[in-house]
Amino acid sequence: MSESHVIDVRNLRTHFHTEKGRVTAVDDVSFHVDRNEVLGVVGESGCGKSVTSEAIMQLLNPDITDFEGEIIFDGENLLALGEDKLARIRGKDISMIFQDTTSSLNPLYTVGDQIIEALQAHGRYSRKAAAETALKVVTSTGIPSPDKRLKEYPHELSGGMRQRIMIAMALVCEPKLLIADEPTTALDVTTQAQILDLIIQMKSDLDMGVIFITHDMGVVAEICDRVAVMYLGQVIEDSTVESLFEAPLHPYTKGLMQAMPTIESDPKADLHTIKGKVPSLTDVPEGCRFAARCPFRTGKCVSNAPTLEVATGGHKVRCWHWKAIAEGTAPEAGTEAVIA
Amino acid sequence: MTDTTQTPKELKAAENRLKREQRSLMIRRFMANRLAVCGLGLTVVICLIAFLGPLITQHEPLKVNPIDRLKPPSREHWMGTDNFGRDIYVRVLYGTRASLLIGFSVALLSSVIGVTIGLYSAYFKPLDHLLMRITDGLMAFPAILLAISVIAVFGPTTQNVILTLVVVYTPLIARVVRSNALVVKEQPYIEALHALGSSTTRIIWRHIFPNTVSSLIVQASFVFAVSIITEAMLSFLGVGIPAPHPSLGNILYDGKNVITSAWWMTVFPGAIIIGIVLGQNILGDGLRDFLDPHTNKAVSKR
Amino acid sequence: MITYIVKRVLSLIPVLGVVAVVVFALVHLSPGDPASVILGPDASAADVDRLREELGLNQPIPQQFFLWLGNALTGDLGSSLYNGTPVTEVFLDYFRPTLSLAIFAQIIGIAVALPMGVFAALHRGKAVDGALMSFALVGISVPSFLMGLLLILFFAVFLNWLPVAGYAPLSEGLLTHLEFLLLPAISLGFIQAALITRITRSAMLEVMNNAYVKTARAKGLPRAAIVIKHTLRNAFIPILEIIGQTFTTLIAGAVVVEFVFNIPGLGQLIVNSVERRDFPVIQGTVLLVAFGYVLINLIIDLIYGIVDPRVRLDQ
C-alpha cells in the first residue's frame, strides 16, 4: 500500500435499516485517491455513489446505518472515529460540495458568515482575520466583486455564484481531500465548464485529492484522472480515464458510453439505451447484479457473483466474460430467457 | 351473452364493486392507524357513557336534596353530591351531553359555512380579498371575550352560545378549505373541466370540494374540541348555559367555591373534559398521519 | 426593510376595520333598542330617551359608527356606566395583572418548550421522544382553567404550599407578585408549553431535512452550532408564528385562569361588567384585546423580517 494515498476505502459496506428491512446500499466498495488526483465515481442515481461519499464524511444517520470495512485517512479509520474527532476532520481535512446550491446554503446568513464560520470552526481566528481569508479564497474562485458578494444572502446569488461560494467554503481550510457530489448537475453548460476548471485549478494549487461524483461520462472525460464505475452498490470497473475511454471492459460501462451523445453521432439515430431497469436494493440478484440487463449473460452470470479482478495493469473489472467480450468472441445472448 | 360486451348493469355492478373495495381498503388503512382508532374509540366511549349512563341511575340532574349536601362518592352517589345535594354523576353525564351537542353543532355549522366561504373565495379572486380580510378580523377576537359580549347583549341561551362559537370558529375552517382548494384549483384537470364547459358550481362542488374533505375533517374535529372547551369556560364564568341546567362548566364553577372540601366536584367533570379533548387531539394526530402518508417513520436498529 | 414595514402596517387597516365593525355591531345589532338593553327591562321611558340622546342613538347608524370610531381613534371609548370612569382607564387597571400573567405564562411556556421540542426532535423515534410527545399531547388536552383547578387541588389543598388564590400587584415587590402568579402562570403556561413543544419538534424535523444542515455538518461545525445556528434559528419562524396566533387563546385562557385564582384582571372586569350590564366597558375591552392581537402579530411580522432576510427583501 503506497503512502501517498490521501484516502483508502477498503471493502466498504453500508447497510440501512428501513421499514422494509435491512438494505445494503454500498456493497464491498474499494478505491483510493492520491494527492493531486481526481477520482471520478460514476453511476446512475441509486447506485450508491452518494452514499459512499457521505460514508466517508460520516454524514449518515448512525441510528439507522451500519458500516463494515475501513476508510483510512491520515492513518486512521474514519469509521472508528468518534463524532468529536470527525468534526475536526470534516471541513478541515476533508471537505464536500453538493449538487443543490439553492438548499445547501443556509438562507438566513450571508454567504460571508457561512465561510467565516467554517474557518472559525477549525482554528482560532479573529473575525477580521477570518473575513480577510474568506475574501482571499472567494476572490480566487473568480467571482465578480467578491467583497460585495460576501455580504449577500444565498438567494441573492445565481446558481453558479453559489457553487463558487460553496467551493470557497469547502476550500477555505485547505483540505487534503475534496468530495464533489454532482456539483455541476444543476448548472447550465457554460457555468459547468467554469466550475470544472475551477476545481481542476484548485486541485493543483492545493495539491489535494478530489472524489468527483457524477452520472455524466462527458464530465468524467473532462476532469478525472481515474474512474470507478458503480452499479447497484458495487464498483464494477476501476481504471484510468484513458484506459476506460479507450477500451471499456464492463458491458454496463460500454452501455453508458454508447448512451452519451457525441459530436460525431448521427442526430437522426436514436441514442443507445441500456435495456431493463436497475433492480431494487431490497431485491438484489444472487449472481452478477447486471446480469438481467446484460446482452452477454450466461447461466454462470445469473448464479455466481463475479469479483473485481485485475484485467490489465491498473484496470479492474467485475465481469466473468470481460476477456471474451473484449476479444469479440462472446455471444450476444440478449434474447435468451433469464433463468431466475 | 357474449363475453366482449358488457351491459350497463354489469358496468354499474363492477363500478359498485370497485367502490366497495376502495372503501374497505380505506377502512383497513384507517384501522391500521392506531392513533386515529384510539382517539375515535375514546370519543365513542364518552358519547356512549353520556347517552346511556343516565339510564342506570334513578337520580335526576335538577333534584335538590339539602340533607345530602357535599357527600363524597359512595354507593348511593357514585361521584358524590354538590352543594345542593344534587347527584354529581347524573349531572356530569347531562353536562357531557350538553357539551357534546354544542361541540357537534358548532363543528357542523361552521363546517358548512366555512366550506362554502373557503371554496368560493378560492375560486373568485375579488371575493377572496373581501372574505379573507373579514376572517382576519374575526380571528383577532378571543372566542371567549366575543362570546361573553354576545351573551351579555343577547342573553345566555344555548343557541346564542352556539351561534357565537360558529362566528368565531368558521374562519378556522374557511382558511384551511381555501388553502386546499387553491392548490386543487391550479391542477390541470380543473382547467380541462373548464375548457369542456363544466359549470362553475359543478367544478367547485364535485371536483374541488372532495379534495378538501380530509383536512376539513381534521379541522372540524379541532373545532369540536375547542368549542367544548370554550363552552365549559363560559359556563365556568357564569355566562354560558344558565344556572340550574347541568353543564360541565357549571359543575366546575360550583366546585370551585368548595374546592377545599369537595374534590369530586372538580375531578369528575374535569376528567370528562380532558377525555373529550384528548380523544379529539389523538384523533386529529392520527388523521393527519393517515392523510399524509409521507410522514416517513425512521426505524431504529435497536 | 422600510417598505416591508409600511406594507405590513397598511395591511392592518382592513383587519382593524372589521374588528371595529364587529365591536360596534355587538351593541347596535342587539334586539330592540340599545338604550333599553343597557338600562334593562325595568327602565322608565324617560330614562331610555335620555340615554338615547346621550349615546347619539337618534342619529343614523353610519353616522353613529363614524362618530364612535373617531372617538375610539382618539382613545375615547366612552365611560363606564357603573362608575363613570373612562373605559380606557378601567381597562388599563384590570389589564395589568392579565398582561403580567400572560407574559409570565408565555415565558414559562417557551422556556420549557424549546428545549423539550429540540430534544425530542434530536432523539426522534426513540423512547424519550415518544414520552415527551405523549406528554405534550396530554398537555394540549387540558384547558388552562382546569389545569388551574387541578393545581389548586394538588398543591394548595393537599400539600398546603402556596397561596391558593389572590393577587399582589408588582408594587408589593416582584417576589410576592410572582409568588401569587406562579400557580396561575403554570396553569396557563402548561398548555402553551405543550403546544410550542409540538411545533418546535416538527419544525426542527422539517429543517433537519434541509441540505444546509448537511453542509453545516460537512463543514465540521460543533454539534451545538449545528443545532442552534443552523436548525433552531431556521425553525424559529413557524414557532414565532404559533406564538402570534395563540395570543388570543393565551388572553382567553388568562381571563378564565384569573377567575380561578381570584386575580383582579380582565376576567373579573368582564364578568362584573356583564353582571352590571356595563356595555361600554365590555365593548372597549373586546376592542382593545383584538387590537392587542393585531399589534402582537405586527410585531411578530417585523421579527420575521429580522430573522429571515428573504422576507424583508422579497416583499
Which chain A residues are within 8 Å of C218, Cβ to Cβ?
57, 59, 90-91, 95-96, 170
Cβ of A90 within 8 Å of Cβ of C212? The answer is no
* Spatial distance between the Cα atoms of C81 and C277, rounded to a whole number of angstroms: 8
Contacts with B300 from chain A: Cβ below 8 Å = 17, 63-64
Of B297, B299, B301, the CB nearest to A66: B301
Quickly state the pLDDT bin for B116 (edges 50, 70, 90). very high
In this prediction the ipTM stands at 0.84
- Answer whether C310 touches A (CB < 8 Å): yes
Are B258 and C149 spatial neighbours (Cβ–Cβ below 8 Å)? no
Q: Residue C109 has what pLDDT?
A: 93
DSSP, collapsed to helix, strand or coil, labels residue A40 as strand
**For testing contact with chain B, the best of A22, A24, A64 (most B CBs within 10 A):** A64
Average pLDDT for B215-234:
91
**8 Å CB contact between A209 and A176:** yes
Instruction: Give, for A72, the enclosing helix (H) or strand (E).
Output: strand A65-73
Total beta-carbon pairs less than 8 A apart between chain A and chain B: 16
**What is the pTM for the complete model shown?**
0.82
CA separation for the pair C77, C68 (Å, rounded) = 8
pLDDT tens, A220-241? 998 999 999 999 989 999 999 9
Task: Please give the pLDDT value at position C313.
Answer: 56
pLDDT of A242 above 80: yes
Rounded to whole angstroms, how far apart are CA atoms B186 and B193? 12
Edge to edge, the sheet with strand A315-317 lists A94-97, A177-181, A209-214, A38-42, A226-231, A234-240, A315-317, A309-312
For the record, the C-alpha cell of A331 comes out as 455471444
Per-residue confidence band for A265, with pLDDT thresholds at 50, 70 and 90: low
- What chain A residue is nearest to C308 in terms of C-alpha separation? A108
Q: Parallel, antiparallel, or unpaired: how do β-strands A309-312 and A315-317 relate?
A: antiparallel
d(CA C257, CA C250): 10
Q: What does each C-alpha distance from C75 to A272, C26, C61, C72, C114 come to in angstroms?
A: 79, 19, 21, 5, 38
User: In A, which residues are within 8 Å of B293 by CB distance?
Assistant: none
- φ/ψ bin of B155: left (φ > 0), alpha (ψ from -120 to 50), beta (otherwise): left
Rounded to a whole number of angstroms, the distance from the CA of A119 to the nearest CA of chain C is 9
Which of B297, B299, B300, B302 to mutate to test binding with chain A, by most A CBs within 10 Å of its CB?
B299
H helices present in chain A, as ranges? 49-57, 83-89, 101-104, 111-120, 127-140, 146-149, 159-171, 189-206, 217-223, 241-246, 251-258, 299-303, 322-327
Q: Do B300 and A17 touch (CB under 8 A)?
A: yes
Give the whole-angstrom CA distance, residue C271 versus residue B152: 9
The pLDDT, as a whole number, for residue B297 is: 41
Count the Cβ atoms, other than its own, within 10 Å of residue B180.
Answer: 22
Q: Is the pLDDT of residue C37 over 70?
A: no
Question: CB-based contacts of C202: which residues, under 8 Å, 6+ apart?
Answer: C121, C238
What is the residue-averaged pLDDT of chain A? 86
Query: Scanning every residue of chain B, which has its alpha carbon at the shortest distance from the alpha carbon of A18?
Result: B299
If you measure CA to CA, which chain C residue comes closest to B264? C153
Cβ-contact A143, A165 below 8 angstroms = yes
> pLDDT of C99-140, one tens digit each?
889 999 999 999 999 999 999 999 988 899 999 999 999 999
Which run of H or of E encompasses A227? strand A226-231
Distance from CA of C83 to the nearest CA of A (A): 54
**Cβ neighbours of A61 in B, within 8 Å:** 298
Three-state secondary-structure class, residue A13: strand
Tell me how close the Cα of A222 comes to any Cα of chain B, in angstroms. Answer: 39
CB B82 within 8 Å of CB B254:
yes
- Rounded CA separation C226/A72 (Å): 26
> Residue A263's pLDDT band (boundaries 50, 70, 90)?
low
Question: Contact, A280 vs A262, CB < 8 A?
Answer: no
User: What are the pLDDT digits (tens) for A165-217?
Assistant: 999 999 999 999 999 998 888 888 888 898 999 999 999 999 999 999 998 88
**Segment (H or E) for C60:** none
What does the pLDDT look like over C263-313, one tens digit per residue? 888 888 988 888 887 888 888 888 898 888 888 888 888 888 888 887 765
pLDDT per position as a tens digit, B28-74: 777 767 888 888 899 999 989 888 877 777 777 777 777 777 778 87
- Please state, in angstroms and rounded to a whole number, the distance separating the CA atoms of residues B117 and B171: 9
Q: What cell does C203 get?
A: 419544525
**Whether C217 and A63 lie within 8 Å, measured CB to CB:** no
Element (H, E) at A67: strand A65-73
- Let me know: does A331 contact A285? Beta carbons within 8 Å: no
**Residue C104 and residue C180: Cα distance in Å, rounded?**
12
User: Is B297 in Cβ contact with A64 (below 8 Å)?
Assistant: no
Q: How far apart are CA C43 and CA A242, in angstroms?
A: 105
pLDDT at residue number B300:
38
CB contact (8 A) between residue C215 and residue A117: no
Alpha carbon of B223: minimum distance to chain C alpha carbons (Å): 13
Please answer yes or no on whether C218 and A95 come within 8 Å at the CB atom. Answer: yes
Confidence of residue B203 (pLDDT cuts 50, 70, 90): confident
**Binding-site residues on chain A for chain C (CB distance < 8 A):** 57, 59, 63, 83, 86-92, 95-96, 98, 100, 103-109, 117-118, 121-122, 153, 155-156, 166, 169-170
Residue A267's pLDDT band, with cuts at 50, 70 and 90, is: low
Cβ pair B300:A18 closer than 8 A: no
CB C76 within 8 A of CB C154: no
Would you give the distance in Å from CA A93 to the centre of its chain?
Answer: 17
Comparing C-alpha atoms, which of C142, C218, C241, C73 is closest to residue A167? C218
Quote the CA–CA distance of A178 and A53 in Å, as a whole number.
Answer: 10
A64 touches chain B (CB under 8 A): yes
End-to-end CA separation in angstroms for chain C: 9
Chains in contact with C via at least 3 Cβ–Cβ pairs below 8 Å: A, B
Radius of gyration in angstroms for the set of CA atoms belonging to chain C, rounded to a whole number: 24
The span from the CA of A253 to the CA of A251, in Å, is 6
Closest alpha carbon to C122 in C192, C207, C194: C207
Q: pLDDT value at position C15? A: 86
Cell of A142: 473568480
To the nearest whole angstrom, how far is the Cα of B239 from the nearest Cα of chain C?
8
- Nearest-CA distance A104 → chain C (Å): 4
Q: Going from the N-terminus, what domains does chain B have, and what CATH number goes with each?
A: 91-301 (1.10.3720.10)
Cβ within 8 Å, pair C220-A88: yes
The whole-number pLDDT of residue A340 equals 36
Instruction: Name the residue ranges covered by the structural domains of chain A.
Output: 102-172, 249-327
Residue C180's pLDDT band (boundaries 50, 70, 90)?
confident
Instruction: Note whether A19 contacts B301, CB cutoff 8 Å.
Output: no
Q: Which of A174-183, A247-256, A276-285 has the highest mean pLDDT?
A: A174-183
The 3-state DSSP class for residue A38 equals strand
Which pLDDT belongs to residue C162?
A: 58
Contact (CB, 8 A) for B261 and B72: no
pLDDT of B26 > 90? The answer is no
SS3 label, residue C165: coil
Q: Which residue of chain B is at minimal alpha-carbon distance from A15?
A: B301
CB B209 within 8 A of CB B170: no
The SS3 call for residue A47 is: coil
- Quote the minimal CA–CA distance from A92 to chain C in Å: 7
Q: What is the C-alpha to C-alpha distance for residues B185 and B200, in angstroms, rounded to an integer?
A: 12
Per-residue CA distances from C86 to A5, C37, C251, C255 (Å): 84, 21, 22, 21
> How far away is chain C from the Cα of A102, in angstroms, using its nearest Cα?
9
Name the residue with cell 357531557: B96
pLDDT at residue A339, rounded to an integer: 39
**CB contacts < 8 Å between A and C, how many?**
81
For chain B, the three-class secondary structure string (H helix, E strand, C coil) is CCCCCCCHHHHHHHHHHHHHHHHHHHHHHHHHCHHHHHHHHHHHHHHHHHHHHHHHCCCCCCCCCHHHCCCCCCCCCCCCECCCCCEHHHHHHHHHHHHHHHHHHHHHHHHHHHHHHHHHHHHCHHHHHHHHHHHHHHHCCCHHHHHHHHHHHHCCCHHHHHHHHHHHHHHHHHHHHHHHHHHHHCCHHHHHHHHCCCCHHHHHHHHHHHHHHHHHHHHHHHHHHHHHHHHHHHHHHCCCCCCCCCCHHHHHHHHHHCCCCCCHHHHHHHHHHHHHHHHHHHHHHHHHHHHCCCCCCCCCCC
CA-based nearest residue to C61, from C25, C17, C114, C19: C25
Do A64 and B300 make contact, defined as CB atoms within 8 angstroms? Answer: yes
| pLDDT higher than 80, residue A28 | yes
